[in-house]
Structure 1
Amino acid sequence: MALLVASLVALLATLGGCASYAPEPLPAAPEWPDDVAATTAPLTVDQVVQRALEHSPEVRRAERELTIVNARKYADGLLPDPQLSFSTDRPGAAGFVPAFMVGLSYEVSALIDHPAKQRGATAALQKQLFALQWTKWQVANHAYALYVTNVSLSRVEARVAQLAVHEQVVDGRMRQALARGDVTRDTAVQSETAYRDSLQQLSALKQDRLKAQQELNAMLDLQAGTRLTLVAPPGAYDVPSGAVHDALTTLGQRRPDLLALRAGYAEQDERYRAALLGQFPRLDIGITRGRDTSAIYTSGVAITVTLPLFNGNRGNIAIEKATRESLHEEYTQRLKDAYTAVENIVSNLDLLNDQLRNARTMEATLEQATKETGMAQARGDVTLPTLMDLESRLLNQRIATAKLENAALLQQVELCTLIGVSAIDYHSLQ
């Protein structure tokens, strides 16, 4: 009876420490922070990146995953509970007493694979920590890219709007010249077509800028339709070649997604070890205390062994081994893809930089030619259509140069993400 009383006391103490339920109602409507939307001061790129790291849905999702993995690590660190059993028999004849049997047992074999499970849970937590860090790297540089895209599209839209106004003026003058008979109808039609094209280009740019604005609002957790005023970022300049070389040398030891894969492989390796340990027989050891109907008390030891004849955990062993091989192949391929992607972007950047230099040279040449043609037209040496055509070409070249600058800067941002440096100051991300 002392064993029974002690077991009941332990059971009551355990129940007293159980977790309790607390409701958490879902929100009836979305809640939007208004700290940024209410401000009128232009936002810098650092402010946008910082807010993205604090409010990005991707970062918050990764943080929730980290909380879940941390809870799983806690669960994997717990040992199985002992089992308490009790049974009683009531005699059907006079002269006998009720019989009972009390037993307390524990799964001793669970202590064998417990260290491997704990090591696997620790590696899983490390994997999620690296995954969170990789998400933050991507969000930071993606926020910078969206920042640049919004500012660049605004610049290009302003230039295209200027071009549209110019083409409208040209179209009006060509119509007047056609009415006077100074130009042919083909020339007037060309000017009208150029004006319509500029309007279509302006409409497409407005759609692109609206899409980029919506993406930035979503990343910053702002309500749709919020309009932000952004400070112009610095112009594009080359990522130092030394930074690229140094980053590639230590890429496998620094980039969080690769570190997460390595931690995931370590986790799976421990799960494979635990599966191998699980093929040994399951062993339960307990003590019993009982009384039969003749009022004779007995004490004993109960041992239960699972015979691994048909299962032997061989199925789980095969699964964990195949999963480990798959993770090994995934890490190897990811490492190759990382190096290949960096080399490809470096090549694309070299090509874009060459095109950008040529575009700037062409823009300077057109500016000089337009200036000289304007002076010649004032003297009557050049016709007005010739001057207006040069002015249109200059505006179009400025638009093309701005687009190339944006494309080069976005490629630099992607390169910085791949090699693990900040797209703002090219320092290593931490």
Structure 2
Amino acid sequence: MRRTFVPLACAALISSLAQAQLPVSAPRFPAEVQASQPADPARADVQALAAPLTLRSAVETALAHNPQLRAAAAELDANDGTVRQAGLVPNPVLGVDQEDVKSGARVTTMQLSQTLETGGKRAARVELAQRGKDIAALELLARRADVRATAIQAFFDALTAQERVKVAEESLRIAASGVDAAVRRVTAGKVSPTEETRARVAASTARIDLRQAQAESSAALRALTAVMGAPEGSVQRVDGVVGVLPVAPSAPDIMARLSEAPAVRRALLEVQRADAGYTLARATGIPDVTVGVGARRAQETGRTQALLSVSVPLPFFDRNQGGQLEALRRRDAAQATAQAEELRLRSELLQMADLLQARKEEAETLRSEVLPGAQAAYEAARTGFELGKFSFLDALDAQRTWLQVRSQYYTAVAQVHRTAAEIDRQLGATTDRP
């Protein structure tokens, strides 16, 4: 019986031919992803930060422990399986047929067949899968830029909120000193008791403002720790200089960096993936060849016959015409989308650069001109009130103006950093801002 199936040894030759049909291309995706993937997903050690948190530490911690980056890295790793699966050849098929069931009259046929793909289908599948992996790699880089920008924005939100707490504390101290001054003047009979009432109302308002500022600061710190992937309450203070503003990029700088923006690169990769899909659709229209070897054993004659078979579908009707047309139009759509995405991003970035410059000028004007004038007016009004030259309303109005200007300044600074972070996010910046 062993001699009956000796021809089946040719199966090894068929598998060798199928494997040698086309080589699997090496993975191709942005090289910088190798260095940008987060470290151990197990979140090593994020310890409570006793010292004030710096901007660089916040960004580094976010890039190392943000859950969204781990998800993007896992998605990139999943595409390795997609590329590997696309490069596999079809499995051979083993078939056994038996004619008649009577002893001595049975005819047994065993055959091993293998489909040999033609037209470059395997290479086209691998190319399409590789383009998907390139997009996943770019998504990881874009996610890193997004996490970095979000961490910077959250850091400066926490920093400005922390400064607002200081302003509110100073406001309460000033209001308390105003109450003391009003009490002394009322006791001396120099002013009406209503001055003391107004001073106490101002102090109560200052206490409410302080509690609100403290709540906003706590919320900003929680948002920062969430971006960093750090435990709740691990960040108590941040360390930075509010007055150091980022440099607004010029129009030539934006144009030079536009081609590296994640949205533009993704749109171009989508064109490449659509082109690979069109190539696969064309290859699918070419019929594959199936070859087989086997043996036929007839018990009645005691004879074993070798079998060889070749089958090819005849593409009379289905040549994947509809699939080719669909893939071609999707490629055209991807090209148009890439052009539109570049134009949109260019316009938005130039507008944000102008907005950033305007907000920087506003913040610098407030710091260098408005704030000193408001502070001088307040100090003069306070001194005049203590000397009895001004009423408490005059001193209170000057104090309120000074504090409002300081709050306006911190709001302008926060908007500057928010706009700069958004520009970095759109351009895909991955280096830490000093």
TM-score by length of 1: 0.81
What residue number does 2:34 align with? none
CA distance in 2, matches of 1:302, 1:359: 87
CA distance in 2, matches of 1:236, 1:285: 73
Cα drift, residue 174 of structure 1 = 6.0
Is 1:3 paired with 2:15?
no
What residue number does 2:111 align with? 103
Q: Which amino acid aligns with 1:137?
A: A
The sequence identity of aligned pairs, in percent, is 15
Q: Is the 8 A contact 2:10 2:293 kept in 1?
A: no
CA distance in 2, matches of 1:354, 1:55: 36
Show structure 2 runs of 5+ residues with no match.
16-41
CA distance in 1, matches of 2:184, 2:379: 24
Is 1:182 paired with 2:191?
yes
Q: Is the 8 A contact 1:57 1:221 kept in 2?
A: yes
Residues 74-93 of structure 1: pairs in structure 2 closer than 5 A: 74-92=84-102
Q: Which amino acid aligns with 2:57?
A: Q
Q: Which amino acid aligns with 2:403?
A: L
Q: Is the 8 A contact 2:271 2:331 kept in 1?
A: yes
Helix, strand or coil at the partner of 2:120: helix
CA distance in 1, matches of 2:337, 2:9: 56
CA distance in 1, matches of 2:295, 2:172: 97
Q: Which amino acid aligns with 2:56?
A: D
Is 1:246 paired with 2:253?
yes
Show structure 1 runs of 5+ residues with no match.
12-30
What residue number does 2:53 align with? 43
Q: Alignment partner for residue 352 of structure 1, among 359, 373, 388?
A: 359
What residue number does 2:165 align with? 157
Q: Is the 8 A contact 1:90 1:99 kept in 2?
A: yes
Residues 394-405 of structure 1: pairs in structure 2 closer than 5 A: 394-405=402-413
RMSD: 3.4
What residue number does 1:291 align with? 297
Residues 251-262 of structure 1: pairs in structure 2 closer than 5 A: 251-252=258-259, 254-262=260-268
Residues 3-402 of structure 1: pairs in structure 2 closer than 5 A: 3-4=7-8, 34-37=45-48, 39-92=49-102, 96-109=104-117, 112-167=120-175, 170=178, 182-183=191-192, 194-195=202-203, 197-233=205-241, 235-242=243-250, 244-252=251-259, 254-295=260-301, 296-308=303-315, 311-360=318-367, 361-402=369-410
- CA gap of 1:111–1:189, structure 2 versus 1, over 3 A, is farther
Cα drift, residue 405 of structure 1 = 1.4
Q: Which amino acid aligns with 1:277?
A: A
- CA gap of 1:34–1:172, structure 2 versus 1, over 3 A, is farther
- CA gap of 1:7–1:423, structure 2 versus 1, over 3 A, is closer
CA distance in 1, matches of 2:231, 2:11: 58
Q: Is the 8 A contact 1:148 1:233 kept in 2?
A: no
Q: Which amino acid aligns with 1:284?
A: T
Cα drift, residue 293 of structure 1 = 4.5
Cα drift, residue 241 of structure 1 = 4.0
Deviations, residues 198-238 of structure 1 (Å, cap 9, x unaligned): 45544443443333222222222223343343221463335
CA distance in 1, matches of 2:382, 2:216: 35
Q: Is the 8 A contact 2:53 2:235 kept in 1?
A: no
Cα drift, residue 319 of structure 1 = 4.2
Deviations, residues 400-429 of structure 1 (Å, cap 9, x unaligned): 212211211221222233234467448xxx
Cα drift, residue 60 of structure 1 = 0.6
- CA gap of 1:365–1:138, structure 2 versus 1, over 3 A, is same
Q: Which amino acid aligns with 2:223?
A: E
CA distance in 1, matches of 2:124, 2:291: 22
CA distance in 2, matches of 1:165, 1:33: 44
Q: Which moved more, 1:263-272 or 1:376-385?
A: 376-385
CA distance in 2, matches of 1:189, 1:110: 93
CA distance in 2, matches of 1:349, 1:175: 47
Q: Is the 8 A contact 2:292 2:308 kept in 1?
A: yes
- CA gap of 1:424–1:367, structure 2 versus 1, over 3 A, is farther
CA distance in 1, matches of 2:330, 2:205: 56
Cα drift, residue 123 of structure 1 = 2.1
